[in-house]
């Protein structure tokens, strides 16, 4: 007759003592990587000279949906052609529209939002040009605007601190578990 012991196996206890510190360190590392990854779309483009903006109106839909994040690189008027999407200043606001016509004699662009019926009422002077849109991430602008604000930065620091603390707790638990095994 085969008998089975009713005593719990000791190896499972050792395994759980090792898995909790590993889990703490894993979650801590994951949180730190997530915080860094969340800020990469804001920091890396600036390193190569691009500026990031959030699309807040539907004038360029469907090409640029509301809430999208756009990246624009500085460009001179001579680098802009018909069909290019540009970023420019108008009455204190930053606007993103498509160039319909370039008028070099008047030193201005005729622009239009893709979703608008007609061209913009006033031409865009060359001096108002900020840059040319080179890339966009649909619907990411809202998140990036939140992260770049004071509240977002505070949350990011708090999450990073939590990640570091979890890694530290994992290390302490791992060290204590090793000492208990040595003492047994």
Q: How would DSSP label each residue in 43-93?
A: HHHHHTTEEEEE--SSTTTTTS-TT-EEEEE---GGG--TT-EEEEEETTE
Helix (H, G, I), strand (E, B) or coil at 139: coil
Please return the burial class of 21, using the count of CB atoms within 10 Å of its CB with bins 0-12, 13-18 and 19+: buried
Residue 2: pLDDT band with limits 50, 70, 90: low
Give the model's pLDDT for residue 182. 54
Res 6 pLDDT > 60: no
Q: Would you say the pTM of this structure is higher than 0.85? A: no
Could you report the per-residue pLDDT of 108-166, keeping only the tens digit for each?
A: 999 999 999 999 999 999 999 999 999 999 988 888 888 888 999 999 999 999 999 99
Sequence spans of domains, the chain? 18-46+149-183, 49-138
Give the model's pLDDT for residue 13. 52
Helix (H, G, I), strand (E, B) or coil at 13: helix
Question: CA-CA distance, 48 to 41, in Å (whole number)?
Answer: 12
Res 5 pLDDT > 70: no
CATH number for the domain formed by residue range(s) 49-138: 2.10.109.10
Give the model's pLDDT for residue 115. 94
Give the model's pLDDT for residue 166. 95
Section 93-122 average pLDDT: 95
């Amino acid at each position: 007759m085969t008998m089975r012991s009713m005593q719990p196996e000791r190896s499972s206890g050792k395994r759980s003592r090792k898995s909790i510190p590993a889990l703490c360190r894993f979650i801590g590392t994951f949180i730190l990587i997530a915080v860094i990854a969340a800020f990469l779309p804001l920091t890396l483009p600036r390193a190569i000279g691009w500026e990031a903006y959030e699309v807040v109106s539907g004038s360029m839909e469907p090409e640029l949906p509301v809430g999208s994040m756009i990246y624009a690189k500085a460009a001179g008027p001579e680098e802009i052609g018909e069909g290019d999407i540009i970023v420019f200043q108008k009455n204190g606001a930053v606007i993103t529209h498509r160039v319909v016509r370039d008028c070099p004699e008047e030193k201005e662009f005729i622009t239009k939002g893709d979703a608008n019926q007609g061209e913009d009422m006033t031409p865009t002077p060359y001096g108002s040009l900020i840059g040319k849109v080179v890339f966009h991430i649909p619907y990411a602008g809202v998140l990036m605007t939140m992260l770049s604000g004071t509240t977002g930065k505070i949350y990011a620091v708090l999450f990073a601190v939590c990640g570091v603390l979890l890694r530290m707790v994992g290390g302490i638990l791992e060290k204590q578990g090793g000492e208990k095994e040595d003492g047994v």
